[in-house]
A and B are shown apart, each in its own frame.
Chain A
Amino acid sequence: MADHNPFPGENNTGHFWDDNIRELNNPPPQWWMIALWASLAWFILYGLLYPMFPVMPWQSQESGGFTRGILGWSSIQEFERGMEQVTAVRAQYEDRIADMSAEEILADPGLTQYTLASAKVIFGDYCAACHGSGGQGNPGYPVLADDDWLYGGSLAKITETITNGRKGAMTAHKDILTEAEVDRLARFTVELADGGEGSEAGWALFNEKGCTACHGQAANGILAELPDGTIVTVGAANLTDSIWRFEPGGYESARHTILYGVNQPGIENTRDAVMPAFGDAGGNLEGKLDSNQIKKLAVYVHSLGGGQ
């Protein structure tokens, strides 16, 4: 501290070093100080209005761990209000869908659009894991976007499939047929799938071994067609089209299926093909779908590309 001020008239504080280094008294501008105090006031006001100060931070807000604020605002309330708004927007569609059949929904372009958007989420949650995000299927899990259906592609059949699930069955023939017979039948299915007529010997063996019981007289998986057009199947594959039930398709796949069957208990290498039931069979909705959701899903799956 110098006794005399060598820089009179300058707004210095009177602190000097090395003759000419001195501390100047330059307070922050007034607007800056106003902004500072305004920020502080804001902080306190905010803290009073909104949850902020931890009183007992080891406790949750509900049990008084934090000040709740005068306004009583909380993010979970805001979220719930938002969800209520969404539900209110959807209600106009949901109410109508609840009273309509899947066929009626498909006949209304606006409702179909809503249903497809809404069901896409349900499909992603419950179906996409096996059938793929766009119904493109996975090895062992059928493609939903094509026109080949094991149990029928009408809205009624799709609804039935989703509600009750499906579990196909095919006998394992490794102890029933000879190696040569299995070979002949496997080659027979390849002939049919490639668009051929099928050899006479193949048809003979197909009929003789009782394959018709499930795959039908025409090997197309259809057992009977009712007068109203409904098709009766037991879920056996249509052997005459070019789509294979089990990947990768072709001779080896067919031979494997004939030898070990589908869903045969106690048989090693048997094909595993089970679709779980998503309906509310026992009145217990846990993790399953209600009838509205199933209705929407049926419309969605029907619209993927192969609905009948």
Chain B
Amino acid sequence: MNETPSRSSGAAIDALYAEAHHWDVNTGDETIHAKRIPGKWRRIKWLAASVWLIFFLGPYLRWNGHQAVLFDIPNRQYHLFGVTVLPQDFWMLSLLLLFFAILLAVVTALAGRVYCGYFCFQTVWTDVFTWIEEKLEGSPPQRRHLDKAALDARKLRIKLTKHTLWLLIGFFTGFSFVAWFYGAWPLWRDFFVGNANLAVYVSVALFTGGTYLLAGWLREQVCFWLCPYARIQGVMLDRSTIVPTYDVARGEPRARLKKGEPTAQPSAGDCIDCNQCVAVCPTGIDIRNGQQEGCITCGLCLDACDAVMDKVGRPRGLVRYASLDEAQGRPVKAMLLRPRVWVYTAILGLALVGIVYGLSSLAAIELKVLHERAPMFVQLSDGSIQNKYTLKVLNKSEQDLSVRIRAESAVPISLIGAEEPLRTTSGEVKPMIVFVKIKRSDLDGERMPITFQATTELDNGNEINAERESAFFGPARGGTDE
């Protein structure tokens, strides 16, 4: 082979390697010990995180003597305040999921990974875990020092306390999760004496272990390498999305402040290269390198930079929430002029309308009609045609109901088997077999529409109807006539 090209390409590859050496990718080689400082975004972060109190306290809410929200899987009933949703109504769940998926999209398009920074359980739990860590082990340098120190009684005591607290939080996370499904009071009653079922213990164990591992050990590594949302949200950003941005024009060139020097150097930018923005970052990135995959847009670097700017007497906002367009001095498009906003809003609205419609129109009974297929129809000895139907009446109310069945068609019919009302039990499906007979001379085709109607009366006197279309089948005209 020719020597020269291989040598030159070898040199190019070496250059690539040299460049790669400067890529700073957080692969968890070093534990991030972020500094905690007070500020506006820190307060907002705690407020947003407190939404998760609903997760812990929600199962204790009562409604009419029941748990307000209970997902009763063994009985296949889902109680949402006064409403009971059965699996048959689960199309609403898909709308709910659509709603939240689009909400995530619209929020991301407008304001970046707000969910990641303020609401995500990974962020919130990690925040609480590291808060405990700081209370026990001290500031980041102290923590690093303790990590390196040899194991002695003090270290053992601190570490033991920390991990116990972490595990306890993990345990109550799992316990509260299960309470939504098992019921909070029964769970407290059954769990600690070994009376709950295996699924409960396994769930709580998985949650305890999972929370401890993810929030205690993996932390920002989850956002970097495990979380699909982080990747999806990353591609939904565009030039007009508002994210934490370092004002390059104002900040560069960076210059360290030295004692005795005037704070305003005409030749230097506003960034004093104090690295506070890096020190406070929970994912350990440098926001001055621009928006990047590690940024969960939590705004803590804004607090850090603003505090420093206040100290050195320069205006706040060197790192601020801004779009790429704004940061680069391009014209900023008004939010309502972006088609994305309208499309997302329209989908959100549709999903919401569907859910509201579904919840408001939950009927107390539901009727299903299954037409017998073998045989499709039977000829009786008097020449009339009989069809067999299996009716399934679902009682979604909380009382047992007596349901009357009627059938109607364009021609006179006789309904057999529905003389007595059907006794239905709350929350159950009751099947019923009925026959419909039509005179041969009345049949006007191989297939005729027929409507079944179920009627019942609730305890409060309200009459409720459920209707279902089906078909009546007969022989083809002239087919078996002779």
Contacts and interface: CB of A to CB of B under 8 A. Distances in A.
Nearest to B420: A109
A125 interface: no
Contacts of B372: 134
B460 interface: no
A195 interface: yes
A241 B482 CA distance: 13
B477 interface: no
Nearest to B374: A134
B14 A143 contact: no
A241 B381 contact: yes
A125 to B, nearest CB: 16
A47 interface: no
B375 A243 contact: no
B482 A243 contact: no
A143 B433 CA distance: 19
B383 A242 contact: yes
Contacts of A134: 372-375
Contacts of B433: 116, 303
Contacts of B380: 146-148, 243, 306
Contacts of B379: 146, 242-243
A146 B10 contact: no
Interface in A136-181: 136-137, 143, 145-148
A137 B376 CA distance: 12
A135 interface: yes
A116 B482 CA distance: 35
Given A148-B381, A238-B381, A250-B482, A20 B13 contact: yes
A249 B381 CA distance: 14
Residue from A20, A116, A190, A249 with most neighbouring chain B CB atoms (10 Å): A20
Contact of A136 (B378, B382, B431, B482): B378
Contacts of A303: 433
A19 B381 contact: no
A145 B375 contact: yes
A85 interface: no
A195 B384 CA distance: 12
A243 B381 contact: yes
Given A19-B10, A20-B14, A303-B433, A147 B381 contact: yes
Interface string B7-24: 100100110000000000
Q: Which residue of B373, B381, B435 has the most chain A CB atoms within 10 A of its CB atom? A: B381
A107 B297 CA distance: 69
A146 B381 contact: yes
Given A20-B14, A113-B431, A305-B386, A136 B374 contact: yes
Nearest to B375: A136
Interface in B424-471: 431, 433, 435
Nearest to A145: B378
A14 interface: no
Interface in A267-308: 303-306
Given A134-B373, A145-B388, A249 B480 contact: yes
A18 B388 contact: no
Interface in B157-181: none
A137 to B, nearest CB: 8
Interface in A222-243: 238, 241-243
A133 B87 CA distance: 31
A198 interface: no
B6 interface: yes
A146 B386 contact: yes
A305 B381 contact: no
A202 interface: no
B382 A132 contact: no
Interface string B378-409: 11111100101000000000000000000000
Contacts of B480: 248-249
A23 B173 CA distance: 47
Nearest to A149: B381
A250 B480 CA distance: 9
A261 to B, nearest CB: 23
A59 B433 CA distance: 53
A137 B378 CA distance: 10
B381 A132 contact: no
B375 A135 contact: yes
B243 to A, nearest CB: 32
Which one of B13, B431, B482 has the greatest number of beta carbons of chain A within 10 Å? B482
Nearest to A242: B383
B431 to A, nearest CB: 6
Contacts of B10: 18-20
A163 to B, nearest CB: 25
A2 to B, nearest CB: 15
B394 to A, nearest CB: 15
A250 B388 CA distance: 26
Contact of A195 (B383, B388, B435): B383
Nearest to A220: B381
Most buried by B among A242, A243, A249: A242
A291 B373 CA distance: 29
Interface in A24-80: none
Contacts of A241: 381-383
Contacts of A132: 374-375
A116 B423 CA distance: 18
A143 B14 CA distance: 87
Nearest to A136: B375
Given A143-B375, A145-B388, A305-B388, A242 B382 contact: yes
A143 B378 contact: yes
B49 to A, nearest CB: 30
A133 B376 CA distance: 12
Given A18-B6, A20-B13, A146 B482 contact: no
**Which 4 residue pairs of A and B lie closest in terms of their CB atoms, listed nearest first?**
A134-B374, A136-B375, A241-B381, A242-B383
18 contacts: A20-B10, A20-B14, A109-B423, A132-B374, A133-B374, A134-B372, A134-B374, A136-B374, A136-B375, A143-B378, A145-B378, A146-B378, A146-B380, A146-B381, A190-B482, A250-B482, A303-B433, A305-B388
Given A133-B374, A136-B378, 7 more contacts: A134-B375, A143-B378, A147-B380, A147-B381, A305-B378, A305-B435, A306-B380
